[in-house]
Amino acid sequence: MKDLQEQVADLYVDALDKAKDKLDEHIEQYERINTLIDHNVKLTELLYGDKAYAALDKYYALQQQNNSNILANLAAEQGYWQAMMDSAATEEARENARKHW
């Protein structure tokens, strides 16, 4: 019975690690979007100069929205890890969730 409990605890910890990997991938996607927006801003400035206000405004608005999405996502992730710490059945699982938080 003890082995089964240890296996379940190990599976739980592994699931937390996989969840963290997926959450990190999500944030990396937002960072890639910011990189693309930065590239488009530089390209626009090269092609039209820094007076291309309408085009630059569009890109800066997109970047602002993307950054807001990152912050919202990180806040939700923090809530997720807090819930995982609060509901952890073992100290190992609690520490693993705290590590990611």
**Average pLDDT of every residue of the chain:** 90
pLDDT score recorded for residue 27:
95
* pTM assigned to the model: 0.79
Rg of the chain (C-alpha set): 21
pLDDT at 79 over 80: yes
Segment 40-50 shows an average pLDDT of 94
Phi and psi torsions of 90, nearest 5°: -125, 160
Q: Where are the domains of the chain?
A: 2-100
pLDDT at 2 over 80: no
Distance of CA 64 to the CA centre of its chain: 16
pLDDT score recorded for residue 47:
96
